[in-house]
Structure 1
Amino acid sequence: MKEDILGVRSSFVASDATKLDLTPNALSIILPARNESGAIGQTVARIRDLYPEAEVIVVNDGSTDDTATIAERAGARVISKPYGMGNGAAIKTGARAAQGDVLVFMDADGQHDPADIPRLLAKLDEGYDMVVGARGNGSQASMGRGLANGFYNRLASWMTNHPVLDLTSGFRAARAERFREFIHLLPNGFSYPTTSTMAFFRSAYPVAYVPIVAARRVGRSHIRPLRDGVRFLLIIFKIATLFSPLKLFAPVAAGFALLGLGWYGYTYTTEGRFTNMSALLMSASVIVFLIGLISEQITNLTYKREG
């Protein structure tokens, strides 16, 4: 039994090599916020009550309401942006400014319960480098978003060869030195959870999931289903080419090859000749495969770990 700076008893056992040394100021809790005056005060106050020794950073992403003032009064360190740069940009700002060895990211809209933080830290103490709060079906904001997240999770699981239970959850804890390795890869928009998760898997940093229940947010969501749904789909393809390009290019190349062979078989049977369309499809197959192969080599250099 060990008591850490959060005043929470830990009953788990971990090796000395992986056990967290949560001395004062070792934990930083980062909340990106944009026009969250309805929830930010209560959220920060609850974090302060539960974890008085932790560093609480609110990154005010160009809010036009009293978000910054309320957060500061509640006891947070506020970093204000002159205009909205995006959720991912706020996360990067908070991660760069944080002093802690462990970073906890959570939403400022009241969806995430600060009482779940010790569960994330417990998993980190078992040797994981990132722990994600995985929302259940009952925690999804809508059926459409739940179906979309399920699709993203299955696609990411296929690409990483690891089960991904929640690719888009913004409630997570990570070792600061590991997370900062990938700051340059994180987009400024809403997909920082997706990119950071895939980057950790690609670099062989262990990732764990802890089930959580996300409450209904306070206020209006900043996500627009149609516009951001298309954007997330594009992000998935970007992630595929960034983290595991052959898993995207190889099936496409195989599809072109099968079409070319099928068309050749048809034209040879009916006309006894090899057509330009067959040649075009087979050439496209070779070109797409070679692009995927080159992309894979570039990816391996990008995620080459030193030492």
Structure 2
Amino acid sequence: MAVTQRTRRPAATAESPAEPAPARLDVTVVLPCYNEQDHVLAEVERISAAMAETGYRWELLALDDASTDDTLAVLRAAQLRFPQLRLLPLPRNGGAGTARRLGTQQARGEIVVWTDADLTYPNQRIPELVAQLRADPTIDQVVGARTSEQGSHKLLRVPAKWAIRKLAERLAGERIPDLNSGLRAFRREVSLPYLRLLPPGFSCVTTITMAFLHNQHQVRYLPIEYAKRAGRSKFRFVTDAYRYILQVLRMVMYFNPLRVLMPPALALLGIGGGKLIYDVVANPVRIATNTILLILTGLIIASMALLADLIVRSRTD
């Protein structure tokens, strides 16, 4: 009789050693990379040199966003030289926001630093941002506020960014020297509830700024220089400017809808009330149709504002 043998996997026992949990670190520098083969190594060297002098326990988490050039190969070769470099290749291109979100979720450091790999930001100053967070526990985020603009479409970009920043300041009720700087450090635990709000594109930095400000987290700004970008810019003026404005409004609506909806509601009610008085004086027996429409529209928007605010206040997240 033939005997059939079955290979059995050894059962897990209480004595089996458990896989050790990754050690917690002080700082994780998240570096999204997309087609940066010519200068990503220089950025890795600059960040590593700056962090090596601090005495912090740190890691550099580079996320290759499905680059179509040799960026991933350059990063893999760099791992042989830099033991603190951890590489996370993404299977498909998801955008800078997706890379930063995944990097923050995978970070082992208590403080997370966001920056870019295009040589624009003074990454040698990353320890300064981290030092401010470690020195003052009341601060939850430190933003590198750029003192100049070196991006593409400068003639259009500067006034557009100024207008969007002023809108954000008005809605947030705070001064914001730089709304969408890509260089910032923040406490990872504080940021976790807001990561699901991050959009996939460049406006993720705007989102994290607005999320912290609207939830009364202390944000400090550190003036920095901003250099001309190495390589080709991925910024698209019309599309990304539109997304910036939309994201500012979306974040304010998410946390404080009264700031967006109540001003136009009160304006319409005020204009409608004034028009009503004029109609009664000029035509005592007739109220104009546009007067009624102004008042009704104001009441509808005001009702929507109060309902949205009620929903926000009743959320448990």
How many angstroms apart in 2 are the aligned matches of 1:39 and 1:292?
A: 48
Of 294, 302, 317, the residue aligned with 1:289 is: 302
Distance 1:281 1:223, change over 3 A: same
- Residue 39 of structure 1 and its aligned partner are, at CA, apart by 1.8
| 1:276 matches 2:289 | yes
What is the identity, as a one-letter code, of the residue corresponding to 2:97?
A: G
What is the identity, as a one-letter code, of the residue corresponding to 1:100?
A: G
Could you list the runs of 5+ residues in structure 1 that have no partner in the other structure?
Answer: 1-22
Which residue of the partner structure matches residue 313 of structure 2? Answer: 300
Give the TM-score normalised by the residue count of structure 1. 0.85
- Residue 91 of structure 1 and its aligned partner are, at CA, apart by 0.6
RMSD: 2.0
Give CA-to-partner distance per residue, 1:232-264, whole Å, 9 cap, x none.
Answer: 222222122122211111111022213322433
How many angstroms apart in 1 are the aligned matches of 2:74 and 2:288?
A: 70
Of 151, 154, 157, the residue aligned with 2:166 is: 154
SS of 1:90 mapped into structure 2? helix
Give CA-to-partner distance per residue, 1:241-290, whole Å, 9 cap, x none.
Answer: 12221111111102221332243344444433113322222111111111
Which residue of the partner structure matches residue 61 of structure 2? Answer: 57
How many angstroms apart in 1 are the aligned matches of 2:175 and 2:220?
A: 10
Moved more, 68-77 or 96-105: 68-77
What is the identity, as a one-letter code, of the residue corresponding to 1:117?
A: I
Contact 1:105 1:171 in 2 (8 A): yes
How many angstroms apart in 2 are the aligned matches of 1:288 and 1:249?
A: 6
Q: Decide which structure has the larger Cα Rg and report it.
A: 2
Which residue of the partner structure matches residue 137 of structure 1? Answer: 148
Give CA-to-partner distance per residue, 1:122-153, whole Å, 9 cap, x none.
Answer: 22122311000000135555232222222222
How many angstroms apart in 2 are the aligned matches of 1:302 and 1:204?
A: 17
Distance 1:158 1:79, change over 3 A: same
Contact 2:271 2:294 in 1 (8 A): yes
- Residue 67 of structure 1 and its aligned partner are, at CA, apart by 1.2
Distance 1:251 1:28, change over 3 A: same
Contact 2:172 2:252 in 1 (8 A): no
How many angstroms apart in 2 are the aligned matches of 1:159 and 1:303?
A: 23
Which residue of the partner structure matches residue 10 of structure 1? Answer: none
| 1:256 matches 2:268 | yes
SS of 2:25 mapped into structure 1? coil
Contact 2:51 2:127 in 1 (8 A): no
What is the identity, as a one-letter code, of the residue corresponding to 2:293?
A: L
SS of 1:28 mapped into structure 2? strand
Which residue of the partner structure matches residue 8 of structure 1? Answer: none
How many angstroms apart in 2 are the aligned matches of 1:168 and 1:176?
A: 19
Distance 1:221 1:239, change over 3 A: same
How many angstroms apart in 2 are the aligned matches of 1:110 and 1:102?
A: 22
Distance 1:86 1:301, change over 3 A: farther
Moved more, 171-180 or 24-33: 24-33
Of 106, 111, 127, the residue aligned with 2:120 is: 111
| 1:72 matches 2:55 | no
| 1:43 matches 2:43 | yes
Which residue of the partner structure matches residue 111 of structure 2? Answer: 102
What is the identity, as a one-letter code, of the residue corresponding to 2:164?
A: Y
Which residue of the partner structure matches residue 121 of structure 1? Answer: 130
- Residue 49 of structure 1 and its aligned partner are, at CA, apart by 2.2
Could you list the runs of 5+ residues in structure 2 that have no partner in the other structure?
Answer: 1-22, 80-84
Identity %: 32
How many angstroms apart in 2 are the aligned matches of 1:243 and 1:140?
A: 31
Of 88, 93, 101, the residue aligned with 2:97 is: 88
How many angstroms apart in 2 are the aligned matches of 1:117 and 1:266?
A: 62
How many angstroms apart in 2 are the aligned matches of 1:303 and 1:148?
A: 36
Contact 1:103 1:174 in 2 (8 A): yes
How many angstroms apart in 2 are the aligned matches of 1:117 and 1:131?
A: 10
SS of 2:185 mapped into structure 1? strand
What is the identity, as a one-letter code, of the residue corresponding to 1:26?
A: D
How many angstroms apart in 2 are the aligned matches of 1:55 and 1:99?
A: 8
